[in-house]
Every structure is written in structure tokens, then in C-alpha cells.
Amino acid sequence: MPANKFNGFSEFGIGIGLRVPHYDHILSRKPTVDWFEIISENFMIDGGRPLYVLDKILEQYKVVQHGVSMYFGSAEKLNRDHLRRLKALVKRTKTPWLTDHLCWGSVDGRYTHDLLPMPYTFEAARIAAQKIREVRDFLEVPVAVENVSSYAEFHVSEMTEWQFLTEVVERADCGILLDVNNIYVSSQNHNFDPRAYVENIPAERVAQIHIAGHSKYRKYILDTHDHPVIDPVWRLYARAIERAGHTATLLEWDDRIPSFDEVHNEALKANKFLASASLAAAV
Amino acid sequence: MSLAALQRRMARAVMTPLTPSEHMRPAAANGRSMREEAAAFIKPNDRLTSFERLEIYNRQYWWRILSSLAEDFPGLQAVLGEQRFGAMSKAYLSDCPSRTFTLRNLGSRLESWLRKHPKWAGSRQALALEMVRLEWADIEAFDREQKPPVQEGDLRGVPAPKLRLALQPYITLLDLRYPVDDLLLEVKKSGEKEFASNAFREHHKRKRVAAVARLKAARIWVAVHRSENSVYFRRLEREEFLMLRALGAGKTLGHAIDAAFRQSAVPAAERPAKIQHWFHHAAAIGWFCRPDRTATKDKS
């Protein structure tokens, strides 16, 4: 199920996030990379170097848009100006699918610029699903939602996180951007079995997978995207691939960013698991 | 608790300023214990109390927006010093939280806020305000729209005095009293010097700022603009500035030239050559575009 309606029936391999410290390397060396993921908000601007670089990248590479501020889970209405800008970017990049987080981050027009966790309630699922549908209809591109890492749980929750994710994506009929590092981080912070999460999500809806590193503190784990991927996360990835098939995979590295080659080589470790999944599917 | 009520409650807590030691405040703005407030909607676990879990978000929020503002205004930080800048940033962001999806606009209200709250800049209010204007213009020049530059054909058939031209949206014209352009370039350059220790850099910056603050105010005119995707600060002659400002405000070329030389000491005989030079330069780097309903900014 690598290509499905949730990722525009595309067959992407292993990509990495497009980040400023790597611009010169990519533009001058033109390394072979399956695809780049861009943070949409960094390019929802009117001009200047970011758009120049993006256009150069688009001449040579496949690009998928990943957003950080749509806030599908917010109780407030969608921001129309945001959507119009996003649509202009979608036209520019021709992204085959678009992703953002299942979270919230603004209230009364004030933005926290964070990915705040959802209460796992049926009301929240209904609101989020409605918004995802609105966004997909407006942008005319498949949408997949990402599970976030979290540090708090709410008394009002009525189900587990994976049940909530399933409830939302089935109501919205959308895809999942499954972040296996986020599953691991949250499982450690909230004492649940991360395998149970991977086993129970609707695998046929997985449009893309995120892998990343994190930072471990004494009492909790923080999703910092500043380290290589650890073995337990690779094991979750392997199981996710077993269930979902050869899925577009993206390594996120956002802080203390090492050289392009180091980031790319870390991402390419996913090949080992993808090859096994392909073999299993063939047998 | 409804989704809207829970989100409003959590956002209020997350956006509450931290204590000086960068922890969550023990009491909310309404006087209620923050421990009780957190426990009302967040579950504790075997390692963290509800308060501690909420505090993770509270700290991340402030660290994120404070570092973003510091990244955008290194010049103001140099003018005020690290400590005063930190305190000012907390006060500003408490009064003016982000209202757009992008952190790029975090400093958009800093100039007007600082004018209303002069205590944060102390004796360096004038210098601080000029630096804020320059740094905001720098942000605007980086990613504002570039319209198609005016072509010769666009001008054909219009008598020169009646001609109207707009300035590119990425250009900001600044009328300044301190050479903050030089200071900002130095501050940015010192930030790039990896070989210099932090202590040396800070000492050097403090010395430079003090030297600029002691300068007798002398007007300078600067265009903050973009060329080939890099931002530049270009010093202008007074009359050149006035002419561009009038054009940017939608005046005809005839009016703009009148405005430029109204109280000018430039001898009449030298004016045509100067005008021609300014025009050639501005046209060559694509500063002029066709006017539309949106007036070009004028921040003089």
C-alpha cells in the first residue's frame, strides 16, 4: 500500500527536511535525494531568497509540504488568510499531498507557535475532522495528519491517543503522517506501550512516516529533533512498515543540524527496513 | 469541559510570563494557585505533577518567542544590553503576543510599543527606536514582494512631470539621526566571528554602542532594500530621499522633484544631473514598479 489516495498515489522513497544550513550544499552539489519536505510556513511569503531557493529545488527535486500552524484541533475557525497563502504555495510546489499536525496552538487570535496536545474526546475529533475536510476541499490536495509528541494528558479524555487519531482520520477520510518518534516520546511520557499504538492505527491510511531523534531528561523526553534516531524508534518504524508497506519516509533534524551528508545518511538507514518490508510483501 | 474552554484555559497558563528563575508562576493572573489550576485539567503521572507537565509548555512557549525576537533584533539587543533587552522582550511579548501564524511578524509592533513604553530603553530611547525601525525594515526587505520593474514601454506617452511610479514593496525609506546602519552591520559581523569569545564580543559591542550613543545626532537617509536576494542598507542624499518618498506616496514625478528641492542647498544648475543619476541608479536595480491601489510604505 505504498501509493494510496492519501498520498496522491505517489511512490516516494526516503526524504529529508529542507533546512537553511544545507541550501548551499544542495544547490551547488545537487546530491541525489528522493524528495525534500518543506515547512510550508517558511515559504508562505511574498518574495526573497526563500522562494528563490525553493524554485531552484523544485527544478530538480520532488517536494512535499508539511505545515506547523494549521491547528486542525483548534476550537476556533480556520484562518482564511492562512489558507489562501497555503493554496498559493501548493500551486507553486505541486505537492502531491500535504501534512500538518493533529493539535492546536492558538486561542482568540493569539498564537503560541507550539503543537499543543488534544484532549481525546469525541467533540474534539468531530471538530478536527470537519476542519481537515474543509482544508482538503479548499486546497484540492490530499491531506494527512501527524500525531504529535506530548507532555500532558487531560482529565476529559475519553479514549487513547491512537483511538482518537483513528476516530479523526476516519471521520475526515484523510491520511496519517505517522511519526514513530512522537509515538515513542509520548509513550515514555505517558506510560503506554508504543507497539500498541502502531498495531492499532488504520495502516491503510498511512500516507507518510516521520522518523527523528529526541532528548531524554530525568523525568520526561522532549521531542527536540537534534539527535540520530534511536533503536527503539527504528523498531517501531520497522513494525509500522510491516503493517503499512513501503511508505514515503522522512527524517526530521531541526536543531544542532549536522552536515547534509550526516543527515542524509541517517535517513538512508531506513532502507534496511524498507527492503525487508518489500521482501515480505513479495513473499 | 468543552474543547474551547479547555484550550482557552491552557493557553492562558502557557502564555503567562515565567518567574525570574524561568519557572511557571505559583499563582495565575486571577490569583488562583497555578497548582490547583493545572490539576483541574491536566493529569499527573508517576514522575510529574500536573503543574510540572503544564510548566513544560509554559517554558517552551517563552523560550521560543524570546529567542525568536532576539534573533530578529540583535541591534536592539546591543543597544539595550542583554539584560535590559531580555526584560523588555518579556514585557513587549506579554503586551503584544503573536497574532499571525508566522514568528516573522513577532516584532511588527515593537516600534510603536517602545514609543509608548520609553522606560525600557532609558536614556537610549532615540537610538533604540531607530535601531528597531532599521531592523524591522531589514525583515521586510528580506521577504516582501518584488513586483515587475517598470519598463521603458510603461513610460511611453506620459509627460515626465505627470509620471507616477511606485517603489518596490520591499523598500523602506528611513530618515535617521544616528548611523545605526553601520552599527547594525558591525553587530551582525561580530556575531559571525566564531574565533572571538563571547565575552570579547560583548565588550566590543558595548563599546561601539556607547560610542554611537555619544555621537551628536546628525541626520542620515537610508533605503533598506533587496538586490539579488540579499538585503542592503543604502545611504541616500537628502533630496534623493525626499524625491523617492514623494514617489512612494503616489505623487507625480513633477511633485516629487519639487518636494525634493523645496528647501535644498543644491545649486539649481546641478539638479538635473543629480536627478538623472538617482533615476538611473534606482531604475537599474529595479526599485520602480507600476503604482497600484496600495500605497508604498513611507516610514520617514
Establish if B12 belongs to a structural domain: yes
Domain of residue B163 covers: 144-178+218-300
When divided into structural domains, chain B yields a total of 2
Are A191 and B45 inside 8 Å of each other by CB?
yes
Distance of CA B52 to the CA centre of its chain: 35
Q: Which residue has the cell 524528495?
A: A35
Q: Which residue has the cell 488534544?
A: A118
* Inter-chain contacts counted by CB atoms under 8 A, chains A and B: 124
With vertex at residue B278, the alpha carbon angle to CA B272 and CA B282, rounded to the nearest 5 degrees, is 145
Residues B159 and B292 in one domain: yes
pLDDT (mean) for A45-69 = 97
Residues B295 and B151 in one domain: yes
Establish if B137 belongs to a structural domain: no
> Which three cell numbers mark A264?
542524509
pLDDT (mean) for A168-178 = 98
Residues B167 and B299 in one domain: yes
Are B229 and A114 inside 8 Å of each other by CB?
no
Residues B150 and B299 in one domain: yes
Residues B56 and B150 in one domain: no
Establish if B172 belongs to a structural domain: yes
- Its ipTM equals 0.95
Closest among A223, A180, A211, A241 to A37, alpha carbons compared: A211
Closest among B113, B110, B165 to B138, alpha carbons compared: B110
pLDDT digits (tens, 9 = 90+) for A71-127: 999 999 999 999 999 999 999 999 999 999 999 999 999 999 999 999 999 999 999
Q: What is the pLDDT of residue B200?
A: 63
Of all helices (H) and strands (E), which one includes residue B93? helix B82-95
Mean pLDDT of chain A: 95
Establish if B86 belongs to a structural domain: no
Beta strands in A131-196 (DSSP E): 143-146, 175-179
pLDDT grade, residue A50 (50/70/90)?
very high
Are A112 and B102 inside 8 Å of each other by CB?
no
Establish if B248 belongs to a structural domain: yes
- Alpha-carbon distance of A106 to A112, in angstroms, equals 6
Establish if B96 belongs to a structural domain: no
pLDDT per residue, tens digit, chain B (300 aa), is 999 999 999 999 999 999 999 999 999 988 999 999 999 999 999 999 999 999 999 999 999 999 999 999 999 999 999 999 999 999 999 999 999 999 999 999 999 999 999 999 988 999 999 999 999 999 999 999 999 999 878 878 888 888 999 999 999 999 999 999 999 999 998 876 555 566 666 677 777 777 777 777 789 999 999 999 999 999 999 999 999 999 999 999 999 999 999 999 999 999 999 999 999 999 999 999 998 754 444 444
Q: Is A269 in contact with A229 (CB distance < 8 Å)?
A: yes
When divided into structural domains, chain A yields a total of 1
- A17 to A14, A179, A217: CA distances (angstroms): 10, 14, 25
Beta bridge partners of A209: A178, A249
Residues B152 and B248 in one domain: yes
Among residues B13, B46, B72, which one ends one of the domains?
A: B72
Closest among A234, A226, A232, A221 to A253, alpha carbons compared: A226
Residues B167 and B45 in one domain: no
Residue numbers in B near A151 (CB within 8 A): 53, 56-57
Which of B42, B98, B145 is the closest to A111 by Cβ? B98
Are B145 and A110 inside 8 Å of each other by CB?
no
Query: Nearest-CA residue of chain A relative to B231?
Result: A48
Q: What is the pLDDT of residue B152?
A: 79
Residues B150 and B298 in one domain: yes
Establish if B153 belongs to a structural domain: yes
Residues B282 and B149 in one domain: yes
Distance (Å) from the C-alpha of residue B4 to the closest C-alpha of chain A?
Answer: 5
Q: Is A75 in contact with B3 (CB distance < 8 Å)?
A: yes
Residue A123: give its domain's CATH number. 3.20.20.150
Residues in chain A: 283
Residues B35 and B161 in one domain: no
Q: Is A225 in contact with A255 (CB distance < 8 Å)?
A: yes
Query: Nearest-CA residue of chain A relative to B4?
Result: A75
Among residues B48, B72, B96, which one ends one of the domains?
A: B72
Domain of residue A59 covers: 5-282
Q: What is the pLDDT of residue B154?
A: 81
Among residues B72, B102, B119, which one ends one of the domains?
A: B72
The answer, yes or no, to whether residue A280 has pLDDT greater than 80, is no
